Amino acid sequence: MFDRVEMAPPDPILGLEEAFKRDPNPAKINLAAGVYKDPDGNTPILGVVKRAEEQILHDETSKSYLGIVGAPEYAAVIQELLFGANHALVSSGRAVTAHAPGGTGALRVAAEFIKKANPSARVWLSQPTWPNHANVMRAAGLAVETYPYFDAPANRLAFDALLETLAQLPEGDVVVLHGGCHNPTGIDPSPDQWAAIADVLAARRALPLVDFAYQGFAEGIDEDAAGVRALCDRMSELLIATSYSKNFGLYNERVGALTLVAASQAAAEAALSQIKSIIRANYSNPPAHGAKIVTTILRSPELRADWEIEVAGMRGRIHQMRRRFVQELAAHGVERDFSFIERQYGMFSFTGLTKDQVHALRDRYAIYIVDSGRINVAGLTEANLPILCAAIASVL
Ligand SMILES: Cc1ncc(COP(=O)(O)O)c(C=O)c1O
């Protein structure tokens, strides 16, 4: 059987990561993969994570299985992070949360749930979006469509075109929205735009699936949840896939969650029972360690306060690097207007570099950027900025 199996195409971003590792150039720069980097170019373990792990190591008495949807304490802290303290959705029992292995795991469980609940639903993805969205949806057997998102010449949200497309959706179709720090554009809807999107989706009776992988990286933990909360205020059903890879730096612990909001407690419980049967047939039950870290931090007022400081540190560094990048490009004589980069959020922005320019950067300067011209702003450091900006000036 295996003799007939053909090579699958490599993942474009992870393939670049491997090429970067093999590159012997000591001045190489990696702006491809989506991990946070500190001023020295490392992806550190947060101090609060280390402290929580010490506590867990000391207190833990068993490695027995978790339940299929994980620990109830984890679901509680995740819901509070999403909706804020004492939200009516939580007290009414309309929100249920399943712990999943990373944001990707949560998206896959969501996709299979959609396929079960409404097999003919189509899933609408922003154009462009994180490439794995289409993979995950198609793997669950769902048909994928796209809605306009990026106005490239103006470097802003293509809001009118977006709304026009959403206004024509048939009932029951699903719309994937990035909860904040849109990957790859760095462009998020304003509060008014979120409200308008929610109104259109409610009128069309379409289902939002919010992919929320960067809470805290745009403006603040609570501030960044404004989009999700606007949807909750205006709609009776939604799905939210969250990831704690970035804001807790727990990339390899695979910690995320799928939260479902239904119109009633009974509907939420029925949906959760279906989600359980999906998880049981996939990975049976989730891995404990990462979720225990998140729970320990969020339940301790002291650790939580320190976590907020560390998230603010990451957010501040990203904003700072955005400003410095624009300044440094100008200092290298680049005349093109890159100021939009300062106005965007999260780890990613489109530079507007062409595929040829991206390849020239890789071949001539060992600077690794994905072909679309998307850069990970968190990969910028004071040390590599002058090298990068000189190289960009030369390829432009
Ligand atoms: C938009 C978006 N969704 C989901 C994920 C996946 O997160 P995780 O690593 O927790 O699976 C990422 C990670 O890069 C992302 O950018």
Tens of pLDDT, residue by residue over 331-361, are 999 999 999 999 999 999 999 999 999 999 9
**Pairing outcome for strands 348-350 and 374-376:** antiparallel
Give me the helix-helix angle, 385-395 and 301-331, nearest 10°. Answer: 40
| Token reading at 67 | 């339940």
pLDDT of residue 9: 84
User: Which residues, other chains included, contact 145 with Cβ-Cβ below 8 Å and sequence gap of 6+?
Assistant: 122, 123, 124, 125, 173
211 CA: nearest ligand 1 atom: 3
Whether the Cβ atoms of residue 94 and residue 145 lie closer than 8 Å to each other: no
Q: Which of 11, 35, 36, 104 to mutate to test the pocket of ligand 1 (most atoms within 8 A of CB)?
A: 104
Which residue of the set 28, 124, 130, 194 is catalytic? 130
Confidence of residue 12 (pLDDT cuts 50, 70, 90): confident
Q: Is the pLDDT of residue 240 over 90?
A: yes
Which residue of the set 37, 173, 194, 211 is catalytic? 211
- Dihedral angle over CA of 395, 43, 99, 68, nearest 10: 110
Q: 155 alpha carbon to ligand 1 midpoint, in Å?
A: 23
- Measured CA to CA in angstroms, residue 149 lies from 9, 183, 295, 352, 353 at distances of 27, 11, 35, 16, 19
pLDDT of residue 169: 97
Determine the average pLDDT of the residues in 300-327.
97
Is 246 one of the catalytic residues? Answer: yes
Is 37 one of the catalytic residues? Answer: no
Which of 9-18, 118-127, 178-187, 347-356 is predicted with the least confidence, judged by mean pLDDT?
Answer: 9-18
Q: Is the pLDDT of residue 14 over 90?
A: no
Determine the average pLDDT of the residues in 195-218.
97
Average pLDDT, whole number, for the chain? 96
Q: Match 């709609």 to its residue by tokens.
A: 235
Burial label, 305 (beta-carbon count in 10 A; 0-12, 13-18, 19+): exposed
Cβ neighbour number for residue 168 with a 10 Å cutoff: 10
Q: Is the pLDDT of residue 57 over 90?
A: yes
User: Which residues, other chains included, contact 245 with Cβ-Cβ below 8 Å and sequence gap of 6+?
Assistant: 102, 103, 213, 251, 254, 255, 256
Residue nearest (by alpha carbon) to ligand 1 atom 4:
103
105 CA: nearest ligand 1 atom: 11
Q: Is the pLDDT of residue 45 over 90?
A: yes
Q: What is the sign, positive or negative, of the torsion defined by CA atoms of 349, 144, 244, 210?
A: positive
Confidence of residue 112 (pLDDT cuts 50, 70, 90): very high
Residue nearest (by alpha carbon) to ligand 1 atom 5:
103
Q: 243 alpha carbon to ligand 1 midpoint, in Å?
A: 7
Confidence of residue 251 (pLDDT cuts 50, 70, 90): very high
The pTM for the full model equals 0.96
Q: Nearest Cα to 119, choosing from 166, 176, 172, 165?
A: 172
Pocket of ligand 1 (CB under 6 A): 34, 102-104, 130, 178, 183, 211, 213, 243, 245, 256
Is 211 one of the catalytic residues? Answer: yes
Residue nearest (by alpha carbon) to ligand 1 atom 12:
213
